[in-house]
Amino acid sequence: MTKPRVGLFVTCLVDAMRPQIGWATLRLLERAGCNVEVPRAQTCCGQPAGNSGDKRGAEKLARQVIEAFEGYDYLVGPSGSCVGQIRSYPTLFSDQGWRSRAEGLSRKSFEILGFLNDVMGWKPEGVRLDATATYHDSCSGLRELGVQEQPRALLEGVEGLQMRPLDGANVCCGFGGTFCVKYPEISTAIVSEKAANIVDTGADLLLAGDLGCLMNMAGRLHREGAATRCFHTAEVLAGMADGPAIGEEG
């Protein structure tokens, strides 16, 4: 069987804020038996424009992503929210040609954890992390892509890692993209409740599948003085959670 060619969609947040998640995703894809390429012509999926009602702005970025990635067997990224946006590209186009190209890309776009588990049938082997952790379901991955059991199943294969259930794990953390800065008071009230639930688990680590949500929760936890350390699930699975967590100096 030939190795699938995967185009890694890094996402703009991972690119700028925490490249390690990009490297973790790349490593995992390689370990799962993929040929990974990183197209240079990628920036942002267009979600900020799309969510602000700028449909034409979102459409222009969608064209760029389609052109850069449609030649691959798969597009894979470390974010349910960006992949969810890419999956919704067909709704942006009225032009039939572009719409069918968008549909083509939509069908082969995956969030990393769902891809590893559902498409590649990969399981972690020899990954060890002695810690307790809790997991937050990021909303887009959960409800747009059905990523729920996959990360939990994969994390079960990490030796030494003890998972603790999070009360309200499937409740939004209050990030919501531009929402968190447009309505900071409401966003803060929501994330404060989330932070309290996280602290209540007593877990050392908070894991999730979307950097936006993670930065929101990590930022609030740290402002409140909590000691919880935050990682993207892919970092743990790639054996890269022995270094600095989000917000820790390298």
Partner 1 sequence: MGASAFTQRAHDALADPNLKTAIDRTTGTAETKRAAAVGAFPEFQAARARGAAIKDHVIANLDHYLVEFERNAQAAGAHVHWARDKAEAAEIVTRICKDADAKLVTRAKSMLGEEIGLPHALDDAGIERVETDLAEHIIQLAHERPSHIIWPAMHRTREDVATLFFKDHHPPPDADDPASMVASARRILREKFMSADVGISGANFLIADTGATCTVTNEGNAELSTTPPRVHIVTAGIEKLVPSTDHAMALLRLLVRSATGGEVTQYTTFHSGPKRPGDADGPEEMHIVLVDNGRSRMVGDEFRQMLRCIRCGACMNHCVVYRQIGGHAYGGTYPGPMGAVLTPVLDGLAQSRDLPHACTMNGRCEEVCPVQIPLKTLLKAWRVRSWDSQQEVGPLRMGLGLWGFAARRPRLYHFGTRLALPVMRLFGKGGWIRRMPFAGGWTDTRDLPKPAARSFMSQHANHGNEGPK
Using CB under 8 A, which residues numbered 30 to 59 contact partner 1?
A: 30, 36, 38, 40-44, 46, 48-55, 57
From the list 106, 148, 188, 197, which residue makes contact with partner 1 (rule: CB under 8 A)?
188
Nearest to 245 by CA among 224, 221, 10: 221
Comparing CB distances to partner 1, the nearer of 104 and 168 is: 168
* Binding track, positions 201-220, relative to partner 1; x by CB under 8 A: --------------xx-xxx
Task: Compare residues 51 and 106 and give the one whose CB is closer to partner 1.
Answer: 51
| CA distances to 10, 26, 30, 210 from 23, in Å | 9, 5, 11, 15
Q: How many residues contact partner 1, by CB under 8 A?
A: 71
Contact (CB, 8 A) for 163 and 152: yes
- The CB-of-75 to partner 1 minimum distance in angstroms stands at 16
| Cβ 134 vs Cβ 204: under 8 Å | no
Cβ of residue 218: shortest distance to partner 1, in angstroms?
6
Q: Which of 157/193 has CB closer to partner 1?
A: 193
DSSP 75-125: EEES-HHHHHHHHTGGGG--SHHHHHHHHHHHHTEEEHHHIIIIIS-----
Nearer to partner 1, 12 or 119 (CB): 12
Half-sphere exposure of 34 (CA within 13 A, CB side): 27
* Residue 58, H or E segment: helix 55-69
Does residue 139 bind partner 1 (CB under 8 A)? yes
Q: Which of 77, 151, 176, 209 is in the footprint of partner 1 by CB under 8 A?
A: 176
The interface with partner 1 within residues 6-25 (CB under 8 A) comprises: 10, 12, 14-20, 22-23
Q: Rounded to an integer, what distance in angstroms lies between the CA atom of residue 192 and that of residue 2?
A: 48
